[in-house]
Structure 1
Amino acid sequence: MNATIKDVAREAKVSIATVSRVLNNSAVVTDETKQRVLDAIKKTGYKPNALARSLKIQKTHTIGLIVPDISSPFYPEVVRGIEDIASMYSYNIFLCNTDQKEDKEMNYIEILSEKQVDGIIYMGDIIRESVKQQLHDIGIPIVLAGTEDAESEFPNVNIDNKKASYDAVKYLLSLGHKKIGMISGPFDDPIGGVQRTNGYKEALSEAKIRFKPSLVVEGNFKARQAYLAMLKLLENNVDAVFAASDEMAAAAINAIFDSGFSVPEDIHVIGFDNTYLSYMFRPTITTIQRPAYDIGAVSMRLMTKLLAKEPIDDMHVILPHQLIVRESTGYGEEKK
């Protein structure tokens, strides 16, 4: 059986991307690592695929997409934006659904490296250090869509999540609410947890309302957990709720009705993302519009510029968000 590039990487105790760089005489590999890979090639009898190497030199016109959950109401619209721009520039896409699991993300990055993709667009809220390092290692352009890394090392396209959450909570405050609960993403999620919660806190602080940790409950972007989170908030007699996604807002509304209350008569609810759920659900959901299609389209255009080595004005693009007012907050009627 012929040896593969994976066999070489395993023998040399390096990533597939590192083996690929050695084969392509990349200057970023140390002499010691290069020798280890060459020794492993000799030991395993690996014969590099000349066609694959030539494709790497000539470019494959393929972009890898790493998506955390393609069944989410948000990400398919991002992918659509990417695909439309990719088609305009004659790029194909290779989509990988990871469920935001570390092992799947790392495995797919290896696969995309083997497929000799020209670049990778990464979607997902949490970028683990192991995944971040692997993205660095493969030595091709990376663009983050709808997320960002803490050190801003990778180009990215996103909105100002803290300001968006601040605007949502400030709107609830303008309607006369004093006890506003929040259903957040995972607390360790830098965006859906940290940034959006910080926006919630800032709006309360500006209104001179003391932050109460008991009024922020994890929903983890899952309907069932958001439903249970809402039941906990009802025990604390909240008069309004800000949910960090539309799916969690819909689950919260169900919990409110199941508990004998009404929306918007008793409790006002705001979601996040402006996905199809926000206008298909009844009552329709007031929400923050995160422009999913535009995030995808701008991310892919940024990628084409990186690959063509065109001048780029901004590697970190912040797109505008908007508050969309609907039935779940009574179309702006102050709560009596």
Structure 2
Amino acid sequence: MENLTIKDIAKMAGVSHTTVSRALNGAQNIRPTTYAKIMELCRTTGYTPNAAARQLKRNDSGAIGIIVPDISNAFFCELTRHLEWMARQGGRNVFISSSFYDYGTEDKNIRALMENRVSGIILSGVGDQTCLRLQDYLGKSPMVFLGDNLPEGMVSQITVNNYEGTRMATRYLISLGHRDLMFLGGRGSSVTHRRRHQGFLDAASKAADVHYDIFTMLSGSRIEDGYHTGMTYFTRCIEENRPIATGILCISDHFALGVMQAAVETGIDIPGQISLIGFDDVSFASLPKIQLTTISQPKEKICSVAMQMLEELIHADRHIPISCKTIQPVLVRRDTCGPPHR
């Protein structure tokens, strides 16, 4: 059949043309039976999306941009992998770049994507000043923001409940019997990190007979930042003959891995002497020699919702309301936590 349109396929399938568009662009929240019906109709009729017509009608270049702070970070690496796969399943090309936690680089990356006329951008911002630089780009390209570092209502946004994540982790340590808690790491310029700190503080302060504190030394959340912070904290406690907290939360899994190495080098056993919890649930956290207890961010779900948001913005015939969604994290119990032994 020649000259079929997306509306023709929608009519045959008995669904809206928006549903057909979402199915063709890899949206995950379509009923399997509906998805199968649409795909079968496309196969039997020979219908394929006309990229040239789509570009002319909607100014859709067929490409999107993804900007993250650091592609070498396992969490952002896994996010971009999911996003790229989903975008390419929908027939899109993808431009990926890192901002390296630098606002100037972030601005240049956004500007470059705009100049290359991408159809939309998915952005995970550097920090709480990202919003100031985004003012110049609002309304110029569909955009979905990942994370907390942006005032709600500025652009469509999806985040994980970071506050609830660390509150959950803190209460778990307390339930195991820990009454001396420490939170290691965090950047003051990161709303995400501030919310993780606050979840810890609120949970710890409401528990009886719990001593708690936050120890930050370096602004990063990399493995080496965790290592240097952990070494400093452990050696100070040992040199000053102060007890080391039996329950330790870390700002991220990367940071926790560095703390684990510092514990090995200072002769501290995990979970014999301290219980350790990370945040993110990156792939290495479940390796046999690591088995890190952590707070999981459901990365595939985050990416699926983000892509759906972006496609809806790209395909909208008119202005649609800004959408803000929060995904609930999950506590993943592994081998680095147990009851205190002292």
Letter paired with 1:327 = D
Shift, 1:288, TM fit:
0.5
Do the aligned partners of residues 288 and 238 (structure 1) sit closer, same or farther apart at CA in structure 2, a change above 3 Å counting? same
Q: 1:266 aligns with which of 248, 268, 273?
A: 273
1:206 alignment counterpart: 206
Aligned partner of 2:231 in structure 1 is: 231
Aligned residue number for residue 135 of structure 1: 137
SS of 1:329's equivalent in the other structure is coil
Match of 1:325 in 2: 333
CA contact (8 A) 1:126 1:190 kept: yes
Segment drifting more, 90-99 vs 122-131: 122-131
Query: How big is the shift at 1:57?
Result: 6.1
1:159 Cα shift? 1.0
Residues 184 and 214, structure 2, Cα contact 8 Å, conserved in 1: no
Q: Which residue of 2 aligns with 1:284?
A: 291
Distance change in 2, residues 1:82/1:169 (3 Å): same
**1:41 matched to which residue of 2?**
none
Any idea what SS the aligned residue of 1:327 has? Answer: coil
1:134 partner letter: D
Q: Deviations over 1:226-255 (max 9, x none)?
A: 122223433152112100111111111111
C-alpha distance in 1 between matches for 2:219 and 2:258: 10
1:51-85, Cα deviation, whole Å (9 max, x unpaired): xxx86963211111111111111012211221232
Contact 1:78 1:293 in 2 (8 A): yes
Distance 2:312 2:153 in 1: 18
| Offset of residue 219 of structure 1 | 5.6
1:182 aligns to what SS in structure 2? strand
CA distance in 2, matches of 1:57, 1:182: 48
Q: Structure 1: where are the runs of 5+ without partners?
A: 1-53
Q: Paired residue for 1:175? A: 176
Q: Which amino acid aligns with 2:176?
A: L
SS at match of 1:74: helix
Alignment partners' CA distance in 2, 1:151 and 1:173:
32
SS of alignment partner, residue 156 of structure 1: strand
For 1:255, the aligned partner's letter is: A
1:252 and 2:247 correspond: no
Partner of 1:47: none
Deviation (angstroms), 1:217: 5.0
The residue that corresponds to 2:146 in the other structure is: 145
Choose 172-181 or 234-243, whichever is displaced more.
234-243
Greater mean deviation of Cα atoms: 254-263 or 203-212: 203-212
Q: Deviations along 1:3-39, whole A, 9 cap, x unmatched? A: xxxxxxxxxxxxxxxxxxxxxxxxxxxxxxxxxxxxx
CA contact (8 A) 2:186 2:216 kept: no
CA distance in 2, matches of 1:326, 1:260: 21
Residue in structure 2 matching 1:242, options 225, 249, 257: 249
Which amino acid letter does the alignment assign opposite residue 107 of structure 2?
Answer: M
Residues 229-284 of structure 1, C-alpha deviations (whole Å, 9 max, x = no match): 22343315211210011111111111112111100001110011110121126241
User: What is residue 79 of structure 1 aligned with on the other side?
Assistant: 80
Is the Cα–Cα contact under 8 Å of residues 166 and 203 in structure 1 kept in the other structure? yes
CA distance in 2, matches of 1:178, 1:111: 51
Q: Comparing 177-186 with 140-149, which one deviates more in the overlay?
A: 140-149
Q: What's the Cα RMSD here?
A: 2.6
Pair 89,143 (structure 1): closer, same or farther in 2 beyond 3 Å: same
Shift in alpha-carbon separation, 1:145–1:281, aligned structure 2, 3 A: farther
Matched, 1:97 2:105: no
Identity of matched residues, %: 25
Query: Contact 1:148–1:158 at 8 Å: present in 2 too?
Result: no
CA contact (8 A) 2:179 2:211 kept: no
Distance 1:211 1:262, change over 3 A: closer
**Deviation beyond 3 Å, 4+ runs, structure 1:** 54-58, 208-219, 310-314, 333-336
Q: Aligned partners of 1:309 and 1:166: how far apart in 2?
A: 38
User: In the TM superposition, what whole-angstrom CA distance separates every residue of 1:150-182 from its partner, at most 9, and x where no partner exists?
Assistant: 243111111100000100111111111111111
Counterpart Cα distance in 2 of 1:224 and 1:162: 25
The 1:335–1:167 alpha-carbon spacing in structure 2 relative to 1, beyond 3 Å, is farther
Q: Name the amino acid aligned to 2:86.
A: I
Partner in structure 1 of residue 222 of structure 2: 222
Any unmatched runs of 5+ in structure 2?
Answer: 1-54
TM-score when scaled to structure 1? 0.76
Residues 63 and 118 in structure 1, CA contact (< 8 A), matched pair in contact too = yes
Q: How far apart in 2 are the matches of 1:254 and 1:328? A: 13
1:191 is aligned to: 192
Distance 1:225 1:56 in 2: 49
